[in-house]
Every structure is written in C-alpha cells, then in structure tokens.
Amino acid sequence: MSVNVIFVNINWKKARHNTEKSTRHNMTVLHDTIAGIVRQMTPAVLCMCEVGTASDLLTEAHMQEIAKTIQKAWKTHATEHFRLRFLFTADAPYMTAYNELQVQCTEHRILRNIYGAQRQPRTAQMFLCLGPDGSSVDVINVHAPSGTPRLTDAQRKTLLRNLLQSNSESSPGHTIGTARFVIGGDMNTGPHSLSQMLQMLRQQGVLQTQAQVMEGTTPKHGDVCFVGGIVTQNLETRANNHDPQHDPYGIQ
C-alpha cells in the first residue's frame, strides 16, 4: 500500500521565458524532465519548487501552461491509470501534481514569512495527503533560496522551527513537529547540517515525533527531505532534470 512522493527543483525563473520562442523551447525541456520522472520514479505525488521565484512570480496563465505540459507528459509516459490534479497559486513558486486514483491531497495552503530575509518573501507549500491505507500525512514543499543575501544558519534554524510549529492537518490541534509529516523540496542544507538542527529542535521540544533525514546515495546540495511519524524508505530509482544543480529525489 505504498506510494512514491517525489521532490524536484525545476529552476523555472520567469526571466528565462520572456519570449514566445523561449517559452516553447523550455516547455519542451520541462516535458522531457517530467516524462523521465514519470517513467523512472512512478510518482503518486510530485512536488515542484522554484516554479518562478518568490520575488518574481509567474502569471496565472503561465502556471496553467506548465500544468498542461505536465499533464501531457504524464499522459504520454504513465504506465498505470491516473487522474491528475494540481495544487498551486499564482502568488507562490510551487506546484504539486498528484494522482487522485492513489492519494487525496486537500487543505492546500501557503505558509508565509517562514524566516526573515530582508523583507523578501519566504514561503512554503503545505497540504494534507491521505494515502491508500487511509493514513494522513502533512506534506510541506519548501524552497529556501541561496542567492543574495545568502541563507544563514540562523535562517535555516528559524525555517525549520516555524515549519515544525505550524498547525498540523493530520493531527488537528497539534503542531507538525508532533504529527506525521514529510518536509522536502530544496532545503539548501546538507543532510549532516539538517540532522544537527533537527536534534537541537528536538532538545527544545519543537520536534517530538520520531524523525528521519532521507538522503539518496549522491544527493546534490539541498536535495534532502525529512519525515516524522511514518515508515518510509528512499526511492532508489533516478531520473534526469534539466537543471544540473538538482536531481529529482523521493521516498516510498
């Protein structure tokens, strides 16, 4: 009764799509990336970050065009029945696609001001995922940008603390840090550093559920997630990404 949850940074900056020709080319590139993920990693949930940037958002029309490209790639290369649904808003750089024949994703919202960055918007995407066995898990898709100004350790700790102290949908009346959760995306943090910060937050009582950092065999910087309160394992299959700085990665 397991399902695959995949995270990928697609590096879809608005400035790279300022002409009709460049947009057509890049949609073809995105199609190929999604096709590889669908073929190789069979996602039930695909969480994408840097769908635009927080300081230069995409338009609603552009987000819809991306969703159409993903739908087409999924339809062409899926080996199982699916009915695709999307979670996104035009005011945040995230998009999640999920197969509602395998999972149900509800209670979608954007977490805002998750750490201070000189008044630059810092957000995360959150939703409730109901699995095929009836269990519910909070899923957070987050991009912690590493540009200028550079992300500091203090900001990383604040980010993790605020995510774990957010209200849980899987356990109403509790925080994420005491519930069942999956947090991933582009953390811009290595697995060792992430483990150390989570241990500190456990000592402070912010993280109370049993948690585990999930990393692949050769993760690129930021391609790491962590889970709490659920049984999971790394997804060993791999797929290519048009952005060489990040690989799609996932858990089962």
Output the pLDDT for position 165: 97
Q: What is the dihedral of CA 66, 246, 181, 195, to 10 degrees?
A: -160
Output the pLDDT for position 216: 72
Closest CA to 249 of 227, 212, 210, 222: 222
Sign of CA dihedral 200, 229, 166, 57: positive
Rounded distance between C-alpha atoms, residue 52 and residue 173, angstroms:
33
CA 14 to centroid of chain Cα atoms: 19
Which domains does the chain possess? 5-251 (3.60.10.10)
Output the pLDDT for position 115: 86
> Which burial class, exposed, middle or buried, applies to 205 when counting CB atoms under 10 A from its CB (0-12, 13-18, 19+)?
exposed
Helix (H, G, I), strand (E, B) or coil at 53: strand
For the chain, 252 residues long, give each residue's pLDDT as a single digit of tens: 789 999 999 999 888 777 888 888 999 999 999 999 999 999 999 999 999 988 889 999 999 999 999 999 999 999 889 999 999 999 999 999 999 999 999 999 999 999 887 777 889 999 999 998 889 999 999 998 876 667 888 999 999 999 999 999 999 999 999 999 999 999 889 899 999 999 999 999 999 999 999 987 677 889 999 999 999 999 999 999 999 999 999 999
| Exposure b/e, 82-121, CB count within 10 A at least 16 = b | bebebbbbeebbbbbbbbeebbebeebbbbeebbebeeeb
pTM above 0.85, yes or no: yes
How close are the terminal C-alpha atoms of the chain, in Å?
10
Helix (H, G, I), strand (E, B) or coil at 68: helix
Output the pLDDT for position 66: 95
Residue 212 tokens read as 């585990």
> Is-contact 198 179, C-beta < 8 A?
no
CA distances, 177 to each of 156, 170, 210, 226 (Å): 16, 11, 9, 11
Output the pLDDT for position 147: 66
**Rg of the chain over all Cα atoms, to the nearest angstrom:** 17
